[in-house]
Structure 1
Amino acid sequence: MDDKTRNAAIAAALILGGFGLVAFFMPTIMLSLGEVSPFLAAIVAALFVLAFFGVFWLRSRAKRGD
């Protein structure tokens, strides 16, 4: 494994680990936000899903050189 692929693997592991940690606490976050506003809870859930795909989309664009 060269430096380029090792760095990509480390970055992917950190991203997945971070999102996994947030996903673990997501039910607690959603219940807390749902008490304030169900609409706010839905927006946070949608942003979480979009952020998951957005991070990898941005990384692919950076690697491609666009």
Structure 2
Amino acid sequence: MTPEAKSQAIAAALILGGAGIVIYFMPSLVLWIGDFSPVLAVIVGTLLILCFFWIFWLRARYQRRRDR
């Protein structure tokens, strides 16, 4: 395995691990916030899911700039 491939695999594992932890705790967090405001709970849940895709978008953008 090349050093670049190893770095990419580690980064992907860290991102997926972090996302897994967030998704694991998200239902209880959203339910807790929903006790105060259902609208705020929807917003927080949506933002947590969008952050997962945002991180991969940022990483892809970084990779494209680095490869130039």
Cα RMSD after superposing both structures = 1.1
Aligned-pair identity (%): 52
Aligned residues between the structures: 66
Q: Higher relative contact order by CA 8 Å / sep ≥ 6: 1 or 2? A: 2
Residue by residue over 1:28-50, the C-alpha shift from the partner in whole angstroms, topping out at 9 and shown as x without a partner, is 10110000110110011110111
Distance in 1 of aligned mates of 2:53 and 2:22: 14
Q: Which residue of 1 aligns with 2:14?
A: 14
Residue by residue over 1:7-58, the C-alpha shift from the partner in whole angstroms, topping out at 9 and shown as x without a partner, is 1100100010001011111111011000011011001111011111110000
Uncovered stretches (5+) of structure 2, i.e. residues with no partner: none
What's the TM-score, normalizing by structure 1? 0.94
